[in-house]
Amino acid sequence: MGEVDPDFVQAVEHRPKPHTIEAENIPLIDLSPLKSSSDSNNSLAGLVSEIGYACENWGFFQVINHGVPLECREKIESASRKFFALPREQKRKVRRDEVNPYGFSDTEYTKNVRDWKEILDITVQIPTTIPFSHEPDDKRLIQLINQWPEDPPELRDAYEEYAKEMEKLGFKLLEMIALSLGLKRDRLQGFFEDQTSRIRLNYYPPCPAPDLTLGLGRHKDGGVLTILAQDDIGGLQVKRKSDGEWIFVKPIHNAYIINIGDIIQVWSNDKYESVEHRAMVNSEKARFSIPFFFNPAHYTWVEPLEELTNDQNKPKYKVYNWGKFRATRNQGNFKKLAVENIQISWFKT
């Protein structure tokens, strides 16, 4: 077994039971202990306990007092709305393609459409290095930069400011999750030196037949963490682990919704589980959301962490490469292949 953060051991021994506020049944967690250097180890341990509880029992939670300035969020939300209000032909000038997954993507709106939405994907690290293809034997790499639309002109600055805040929050959450697993606080940081994180601007137009389609179908996120900002319309639904019911996540002003992805499920050797979720559409109002997908370097080999496995808890997954995993999903999503999307269950031992 690996070493546990020595500064945290004593406090964890006496950590209080988790106290979570239920917002439509998913935990709401106050991150204010992270903003004060005077907080005791007991206070931090309580926060870690809450996050561990949420990861193990829900896979989802909301956070408040997270430290992201409201003005920063409002800037990117405003710029996002302006972009999606443009004529479709103008937005398509920065359309993503089979090679570059960063850019605009839309759906022809019909009653049989799979996902009723428009998106703009923007990478965080410039350039972002990813595999050229999903083929296992293809060792070529490609470096990609963002496709920036001409309008609105303030979008790029708003995005760059927001991306920095999302990174800071992502690393804070990683530290708390590591501690909740009994790991050293910085155990997971090294996987992000050449991160493949991205931000997605989502626009869900009003749908005349919301009972016939979804904004986004049921799925699990393949990366490490997702940090979601949603507007006051709402639409996110989470599949509750205890009974399989779909739970509507009620919007909370200036809160962020956090969900763990497949990589944390593998790293934790199934102690924490990535949970299915989906997005509903509205018949009268447009909905906007902004997820930040916190993902490691393309060359990351994903497997249960050595510190969390032993003879009594053997690894439940074979190792796989994150870059190839992501490239396989990109290929399937772009071509709308009539095959099952790659899942971590394929790597079960």
Domain count for the chain, please give it: 1
Distance CA 109, CA 113 (A): 6
CATH number for 93: 2.60.120.330
E strand spans, 112-159: 118-123, 128-131, 141-144
User: What residues make up the domain containing 49?
Assistant: 6-347
Q: Report strand pairing: 236-239 vs 287-294.
A: unpaired
Q: Can you give the pLDDT at residue 291? A: 98
Q: Do residues 276 and 344 touch, judged by C-beta distance below 8 A?
A: no
The answer to whether residue 151 is domain-embedded is yes
What's the confidence (pLDDT) of residue 24? 56
Phi and psi of 144, rounded to 5°? -120, 145
What's the pLDDT at 110?
39
- Within a domain: residue 32? yes
**Cis status, amide bond into 127, omega within 30 of 0:** yes
The DSSP string of 57-123 is HTSEEEEES----HHHHHHHHHHHHHHHTS-HHHHGGGB--SS---EEEE----TT-SB--EEEEEE
Within a domain: 45:
yes
- Sign, CA dihedral 9-58-266-201, equals negative
Pairing status of strand 141-144 against strand 103-106: unpaired
- For residue 38, the model assigns a pLDDT of 53
pLDDT score recorded for residue 21: 46
pTM of the model: 0.89
Q: 236 lies in a domain? A: yes
Instruction: Enter the tokens of residue 165.
Output: 């805040």
In a domain, 22, yes or no: yes
- Judge whether 1 lies within some domain: no
Low-confidence ranges of the chain (pLDDT < 70): 1-24, 37-41, 107-115, 331-340
- Report if residue 27 sits inside a domain: yes
For residue 238, give the DSSP letter: E
Kindly state whether residue 260 falls inside one of the protein's structural domains: yes
